[in-house]
Amino acid sequence: SPQNIQSKFRGCLVGSLMGDCLGGPYEGDEISSGDRIIIQRYFDKMEDASFKGPFKKYTDDTAMMKSVAKFLIDKPEPDFKYLAKLFVTEFFKEPRRGYGSNVMDVFEKLRNTKYEDIYRPSNEQFNGLGSYGNGGAMRIAPIPLYFYDKYENMLNVARESTKITHSNLLGINGALLQCIAIHQAFLIESDKPVDVDGFCKGLVEKIRPIELACYEDLNDKSETPYCEKIFTLQDMLRKKYTDDSDEEVICNIGNGISAYESVPTAIYCFLRAQNPIPGIETNNIFRRTIQYAITLGGDTDTIACMAGAIAGAHLGYEAIDKTTLQHCEKYEDIVGLSDSLFKARPN
């Protein structure tokens, strides 16, 4: 396992917070070439110690990620009913954090049924199809950290925790893919460069059996949508596509609120940012990752949050600019939460 584990815990959760806070103001936007310059200046300003401005607020992504961390810290054995209660309590305490428009129904039903069956409300979403939103993936980060040396437990806890709000296979497997991506990045030493092709290969090897097992139950063995999407982003990174403009990335990989159109995009941002990107002027790979994610527009807070978690898990806390971090709401709490999660691990 890596040398600087505690720094990687911090890097990952703080990375997630920063993507959420810095991406929040652009959520839902379409980004023009003029906007790209404004985003470059916005990040430059954040790194300038003389700049004083109101902090950037975190959204539902961080609110729910904090509950997942608390669930792991407070209970020695995973207690999913406890997690459901944490989500609901957090939501009713601060409902205006920009939650997805349908997930609120799940919280209301959980509360009204006194958590009798914690999976029923999510199963009832969208006429029984379940949500395929990225809400499971956006909050997953504490799980691959806590279970970094227990792969099967990691997958089980990731799946069961996602199902409280998301029962559609695309929502669940998207959360698992994000979990696996963070886990893989965590296991790469911070001072070693990322082998981009090898990283994609690893993801395919792990997500393929998961997808095949799911769709086998549905008698459709040919379905491996996330595998196919990884092949697409791998081809784009290998420059098999002559055009890797933002428009082309959005068209081929996506920038939406569904897990399918955002988790592979976050992974792409992390991998693409291993090398310079035109229009993103910085030598800091962490900054490049989240700035590029925001520049793609659409679900900016969530894609930057997921990309930031992956990059932070690789690079660790030292690689993150602290002046920028100080512009993010409650950043000290997330540093503290990372340390508590690290200490809560059984050894």
Q: Least distance to ligand 8NA from the beta carbon of 52, Å? A: 27
Q: Least distance to ligand 8NA from the beta carbon of 307, Å? A: 13
Q: Least distance to Mg ion from the beta carbon of 60, Å? A: 4
Q: Least distance to ligand 8NA from the beta carbon of 171, Å? A: 7
CB nearer to Mg ion: pick between 211 and 301: 301
Report the partner that residue 131 touches, choosing among Mg ion, ligand 8NA, none (CB closer than 5 to 8 A by kind).
ligand 8NA
- The tokens describing 85, both together, are 């209660």
- The Cα 29–Cα 315 span in angstroms is 29
- The Cα 296–Cα 247 span in angstroms is 8
Select from 120, 201, 134 the least CA-distant residue to 173.
134
- The tokens describing 135, both together, are 């809400």
CB nearer to Mg ion: pick between 185 and 294: 294
Report the partner that residue 308 touches, choosing among ligand 8NA, Mg ion, none (CB closer than 5 to 8 A by kind).
none
Report the partner that residue 129 touches, choosing among Mg ion, ligand 8NA, none (CB closer than 5 to 8 A by kind).
ligand 8NA
Report the partner that residue 5 touches, choosing among Mg ion, ligand 8NA, none (CB closer than 5 to 8 A by kind).
none
CB nearer to ligand 8NA: pick between 28 and 336: 28
CB nearer to ligand 8NA: pick between 60 and 211: 60
Select from 99, 103, 73, 270 the least CA-distant residue to 171.
103
CB nearer to Mg ion: pick between 43 and 147: 43
CB nearer to ligand 8NA: pick between 262 and 291: 262
Hey, what amino acid is at 178?
Q
- The Cα 59–Cα 94 span in angstroms is 10
- The Cα 132–Cα 129 span in angstroms is 9
Cα angle: 306, vertex 295, 26; to 5 degrees: 80
Report the partner that residue 261 touches, choosing among ligand 8NA, Mg ion, none (CB closer than 5 to 8 A by kind).
none
The residues near 212 (Cβ < 8 Å, ≥ 6 apart) are: 221, 224
- The Cα 72–Cα 83 span in angstroms is 9
Cα radius of gyration rounded to whole Å, the chain: 19
Q: Least distance to Mg ion from the beta carbon of 215, Å? A: 27
Residues that bind ligand 8NA (CB under 6 A): 27-28, 59-61, 98, 100-103, 126, 129, 131-135, 138, 168, 257-258, 299, 301-302
